[in-house]
Chains A and B, each alone.
Chain A
Amino acid sequence: MGLGLLALIIISIDFYTDWLAPVRAQVNVIAAPFYKIVNTPKSVFDWGSDKLVSREDLQRENIDMRTELLIHQRKLQQMATLAAENVRLRQLLNSAKMISDRVVVAELISLSPDPLAHKVMINKGRQDGIFVGQPLLDAYGLMGQIIEVGDMYSWALLITDSTHALPVQVNRNGVRAVAEGVGDLYRLKLRHLPNTIDIRKGDLLVSSGLGQRFPVGYPVAEVVSITHDPGKPFAQVEVIPKAKLNRSRYVLIVVDDEQKNTGSNSANSNFNGKVQ
């Protein structure tokens, strides 16, 4: 009975206050070995398929990567001029400079075993300069944000978790909305969009940066269906996340460093974002 009460008290302390945050941060160290053990079969398998790969496969992969690199470099060349032009135009308009972001590459260690929570564990922690609130990306779009930081690893909440919502805007015309997770990895919901709003199937939603948490302009989701039900006050808009939430092994964590990029050569540094 007493212990049950104690559990209830701890739950409410952890829920209503953040007094337990330092305790959690310290004690979290114990969790790492557990995940190391359960990931052993997988890491052995990965090691095997890494080492036991044939020469032809490697050569083919090498050629593929070179081609891809060439394509991306060509795009990057155009990008530099575009970025410079963008900065000039922004100066003409007297608007704020785009802040370039530095990113840290991390690897997913595991998904939360609890099916009700969409959380992932990544292998970077306080030692790598991770802190609570940092956005998490993969190569295709926004994935989530860091909610708990340990020494060596941290937990991130995915945008599809049912307790998560983020401000977005339609890339085509700038219509703002809030994309809310519904607890389904392949689906998000847009809340409170009037029936008359200009939104179409196939529209790209990007982060609007309004919540002060996510940086502006990262792709978040794509609109797949819009239903106008006359019986309901709002349009029902279904969107699917751009990020491959169930595929990506390697993720990027954005480190906003405003103070570093206040120099005049921001046109260049915009696309030379350091990747560790």
Chain B
Amino acid sequence: MSLLKSHNRWLVVLTYMVALLLSVFPLVYTARWLRPEFVTIFVIYWVIFSPQQTSLMLIFWVGCLQDLLEASLLGQHALALLTVAYLSLLLGQRFKHYLVWQQSVVVFLLVMAHQLVDNWVHSMQGASAVSLEFLMPAFTSALFWPLIWMFLEKARANFRVT
């Protein structure tokens, strides 16, 4: 608990919870491919901008929770999120110095990696292959990135999460 309080780490956990809520928010059927991968975006943000306050263990649990929420194979999202976390950790310092639109492009690629892993595990279950529309969330995530980035920067400065 003191660990949560000392660096306002609860903010990180809270934003993950918000991301999970957004990821199960009901959408109309026609817009099903347009939902950005909120959890992935938040993971990318925290891993890059405050790697000390998030942990791979936390990301793992968030992924498992998302699997429970979506009734998918346990570990499917956890694996995809860990892949993204690893990739963004590699990008880390460079990413911070990009312009926002350049960051969006990188987010597009990272979410694409997430979708690839996710889809790989999903089709392992015997589901038929889909066309490239499963990359659509990567596109909308890139569009949402500037907004979420701005919001999270504000929140981070406000609660002094370093």
Binding site for B on A (CB under 8 A): 3-4, 6-11, 14-15, 20, 24, 27-28, 30-31, 34-35, 37-39, 42, 110-117, 119, 121, 147-148, 155, 161-163, 182-183, 185, 246
Q: Tell me the complex Cα distance, A182–B130, Å.
A: 10
Write out the residue numbers on chain A whose beta carbons fall within 8 Å of the beta carbon of B130.
Answer: 116, 183
Write out the residue numbers on chain A whose beta carbons fall within 8 Å of the beta carbon of B86.
Answer: 4
For B26, give its contact among A39, A161, A182, A185 (CB under 8 Å).
Answer: A39
* Cβ–Cβ contact A111 & B126, under 8 A: no
* Cβ–Cβ contact A113 & B23, under 8 A: yes
Q: Tell me the complex Cα distance, A116–B33, Å.
A: 9
Q: How many residues of B contact A (CB 8 A)?
A: 41
Q: Tell me the complex Cα distance, A68–B119, Å.
A: 47
**Dominant SS at the B interface?**
helix
* Cβ–Cβ contact A111 & B26, under 8 A: yes
29 contacts between A and B (CB under 8 A): A3-B57, A4-B82, A6-B60, A7-B60, A8-B75, A10-B75, A10-B78, A11-B73, A27-B68, A30-B68, A34-B20, A34-B24, A37-B21, A38-B21, A110-B26, A111-B26, A113-B23, A113-B24, A113-B25, A113-B35, A115-B35, A115-B134, A116-B122, A117-B70, A117-B72, A162-B127, A163-B126, A163-B127, A183-B127
**Contact residues, B69-85 vs A (CB, 8 A):** 69-76, 78-79, 82-83
Write out the residue numbers on chain A whose beta carbons fall within 8 Å of the beta carbon of B122.
Answer: 114, 116-117
Write out the residue numbers on chain A whose beta carbons fall within 8 Å of the beta carbon of B35.
Answer: 113, 115
Chain B nearest Cβ from A48, distance in angstroms: 17
- Residue-by-residue, is B124-135 near A (CB-CB < 8 Å gives 1, otherwise 0)? 111110100010
Measured CB to CB, the nearest residue on chain B to A2 is B56
* Cβ–Cβ contact A182 & B128, under 8 A: yes
Q: Tell me the complex Cα distance, A119–B68, Å.
A: 13
Write out the residue numbers on chain B whose beta carbons fall within 8 Å of the beta carbon of A37.
Answer: 21
Q: Tell me the complex Cα distance, A115–B118, Å.
A: 12
Write out the residue numbers on chain A whose beta carbons fall within 8 Å of the beta carbon of B32.
Answer: 115
Write out the residue numbers on chain A whose beta carbons fall within 8 Å of the beta carbon of B26.
Answer: 38-39, 42, 110-111, 113
Known: A7-B75, A38-B26, A112-B71. 17 other contacts (CB 8 A): A7-B78, A10-B74, A10-B78, A30-B65, A31-B69, A34-B21, A113-B24, A113-B35, A114-B70, A114-B72, A114-B122, A116-B127, A116-B134, A117-B72, A121-B71, A163-B127, A183-B130
Write out the residue numbers on chain A whose beta carbons fall within 8 Å of the beta carbon of B20.
Answer: 34
Write out the residue numbers on chain A whose beta carbons fall within 8 Å of the beta carbon of B64.
Answer: 10
Q: Tell me the complex Cα distance, A198–B33, Å.
A: 38
Q: Which of B27, B33, B70 is packed against the most chain A CB atoms within 10 Å?
A: B70
